[in-house]
Structure 1
Amino acid sequence: MKPKIIVGAVIAIVILVAAALVIPRIYAANESSDIAAPTLASAPADRAGGEALDVNGQWEVVEGADSYAGYRVDEVLSGENVTVVGRTNTVTGEATVEGDSLTTAAVDVDLVSVATDSDRRDNYFRTIAIDTAAHPAAIFTVTQPVDLAGVSTTASDITLQGELSMNGQTRSVEVPAQLVAQDGTLVIAGYIPVTWADFGVEAPSLGFVEVEKAGAIEFQVALEK
């Protein structure tokens, strides 16, 4: 075999090996996310305030760092177990509390701005997994009253019954959550267990990645009057 042919063969092999290593990383970094699931601690003493919070009235989601939502999913990427977390702070919504009962609430999450550590993964999410051009938002609506009596600076467990609308599909959901009063705001954090197929979400099937059929929609929202 001529030297030039040998060199060409070696180069071809190197390119194939490099592609095998690089292509999976085009989809995602081969590391689990270290972003913790949302959970609430009791309000620190210096943020607790001296009076009980009057929850009766109209509330709105505080936009910014105090409110976020997104998804968490496990996948096998190139033989490695990976946890992927995508989040956005573009969350809006409002709620009505009558007496001590949360009677209505709706939270709107901008799916277009949900981001992970990979632009290419995010593009897949926005164009193939979910058609965000046609369905740019996920909306959670409370459908049953929630008792908020005794809400305090100590985090408490609650359950929200509601409907989740995403990707043109609407499903009834039960949401484990926590609630705490902090600096005159109500902060609620929780997760919605989701089977992706129920919402017509197409999980990646790219040969080197296998995504679990179920995951969670996570959120933390701060509400102020």
Structure 2
Amino acid sequence: MSSTSTTDRPPAPRRRPRRRGLWTTLAVLAALLVVAAFVGPRVYAALAADDAAAPLTTTAATAATTPTAASDDATLDGTWAIAPGGTAGYRVEEVLNGQDVTVTGRTDQVSGALTVTAGQLTAATVSVDLASVTTDSSQRDGQFRSSRIMDVEQHPTADLALTEPVPLGGLDVGSTLAVDLVGTLTLKGTTRDVTIPATVQRTAEDAVTVTGSLGLTWSDYGVQAPDLGFVSVQDTGTVEFSVSAVPA
């Protein structure tokens, strides 16, 4: 019998180096990271734009008018309490890797009272629970409540107080009045004079809705706008509210 010599066997195939495949994988990963760096913020900005709440405005069908003289039949006279279900919050512009994003924070934890005397709004207070203000991001909300920004443990509320009377005149049911609310805003322990453009809407015989917004500079109230390098918040923003009041 004959046998095949080991020297006659064909040589085993040599393994090709995998270095080329490794470099290809690394190149693909690098390309994906570049795409994510540029596309990611744009996608986030588009999604955040959809999540941003619309500005708080009056729902009146009639056009706002200017205040008139007090009516002899001052049916609004008396003390009114802020009813549950109101809304207050803020609106700021955030920049993420060069992409502009509108961020809105909202809460329904709003309380207060109004006093109407002889057809004039003579006293008003509105208090907002800042710890309950939320956005679409729990991380952002944690920063908002922190001592570096709002410090809600030491300053749990934002407070608005009227300091000048506002003529309401004879405000019929369904009518809306454009007014200026002159008063003070207290935020993070700092109180400043403000004038807030607003509307007063008589939604029912026993219900009034007050809606307003005020542009402000956060640093005026000792609030430091976050700047983490890749994301920053402008030092200016808007506070908004829309609350209904009923006879107390």
Say whether the fold is shared (TM-score over 0.5).
yes
Q: 2:134 aligns to what? A: 115
Inter-partner Cα distance in structure 2 for 1:23 and 1:205: 19
Inter-partner Cα distance in structure 2 for 1:29 and 1:107: 34
Larger Rg: 2
For structure 2, the residue ranges without an aligned partner over 5 or more in a row are 1-16, 63-72
- Specify the code of the residue in structure 2 equivalent to 1:185: A
2:189 paired residue among 164, 168, 186: 168
Q: CA deviation at 1:93?
A: 0.3
Q: 1:198 aligns to what? A: 220
1:31 paired residue among 24, 39, 48: 48
Inter-partner Cα distance in structure 1 for 2:200 and 2:163: 18
The 3 A distance-change label for structure 1 pair 11 and 122 is farther
Q: Secondary structure at the match of 2:214?
A: strand
Q: CA deviation at 1:9?
A: 6.1
Taking the TM superposition and a 5 Å limit, the aligned residue runs for 1:129-140 are 129-140=149-160
Q: 2:84 aligns to what? A: 63
Aligned residues: 215
Taking the TM superposition and a 5 Å limit, the aligned residue runs for 1:87-106 are 87-106=106-125
The 3 A distance-change label for structure 1 pair 145 and 123 is same
Q: 2:14 aligns to what? A: none
- Specify the code of the residue in structure 1 equivalent to 2:191: T
- Specify the code of the residue in structure 1 equivalent to 2:54: A
The 3 A distance-change label for structure 1 pair 200 and 101 is same
Identity of aligned residues (%): 40
When the two chains are superposed, the root-mean-square deviation of aligned CA atoms in Å is 2.9
State the TM-score, normalized to the length of structure 2. Answer: 0.76
For structure 1, the residue ranges without an aligned partner over 5 or more in a row are 45-51
Q: 1:145 aligns to what? A: 165
Q: CA deviation at 1:76?
A: 1.8
C-alpha contact (below 8 Å) 1:28/1:120 kept by paired residues: no
Inter-partner Cα distance in structure 1 for 2:30 and 2:116: 66
C-alpha contact (below 8 Å) 1:146/1:160 kept by paired residues: yes
